């Protein structure tokens, strides 16, 4: 069964600090992995998308890494801001046509002043 597990479930950090969110998956065969940011009461917004051959990708203060061998990904947030407070969802897309994506349960991040 395809699964995507994220850790930690929730995280509180001080403004300006860095943090790293983890995503482990069992989806196979693998096509791509995306990190989304979901503000409370809003739809998810894509941060990064990584394919099998990519190891790291940055989007501003967000840097995602991917290890396709160990099936792990991380999202590193640098110099956190209050606006980073949201849920971060890891989504894995299998290959082989229009198969269903698998959503992680998300990490709830709260940045406090």
Partner 1 sequence: GAVVSQHPSWVICKSGTSVKIECRSLDFQATTMFWYRQFPKQSLMLMATSNEGSKATYEQGVEKDKFLINHASLTLSTLTVTSAHPEDSSFYICSARGGVFGSWLFHNEQFFGPGTRLTVL
Q: Name the residues that contact partner 1, by CB under 8 A.
A: 31-32, 34, 36, 41-46, 49, 51, 89, 93, 98, 100-101, 103-106, 108
Q: What's the distance, CA 2 to chain centroid?
A: 16
Our CB check for partner 1 shows the closer of 24 and 32 to be 32
Q: How far is the CB of 9 from partner 1 (least distance, A)?
A: 9
Token pair 């860095």: residue = 18
Our CB check for partner 1 shows the closer of 72 and 93 to be 93
Our CB check for partner 1 shows the closer of 18 and 46 to be 46
CB 36 within 8 A of CB 103: no
Residues in the chain: 113
């Amino acid at each position: 069964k395809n699964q995507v597990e994220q850790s930690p479930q929730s995280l509180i950090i001080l403004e300006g600090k860095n943090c790293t969110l983890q995503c482990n998956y069992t989806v196979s065969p693998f096509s791509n992995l995306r990190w989304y940011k979901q503000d409370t009461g809003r739809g998810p917004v894509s941060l990064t998308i990584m394919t099998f051959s990519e190891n790291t990708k940055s989007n501003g203060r967000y840097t995602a890494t991917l290890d396709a061998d160990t099936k792990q990904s991380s999202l590193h947030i640098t110099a956190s801001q209050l606006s980073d407070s949201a849920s971060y969802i890891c989504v894995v897309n299998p290959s082989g046509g229009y198969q269903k994506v698998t959503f992680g349960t998300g990490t709830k991040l709260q940045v406090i002043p």
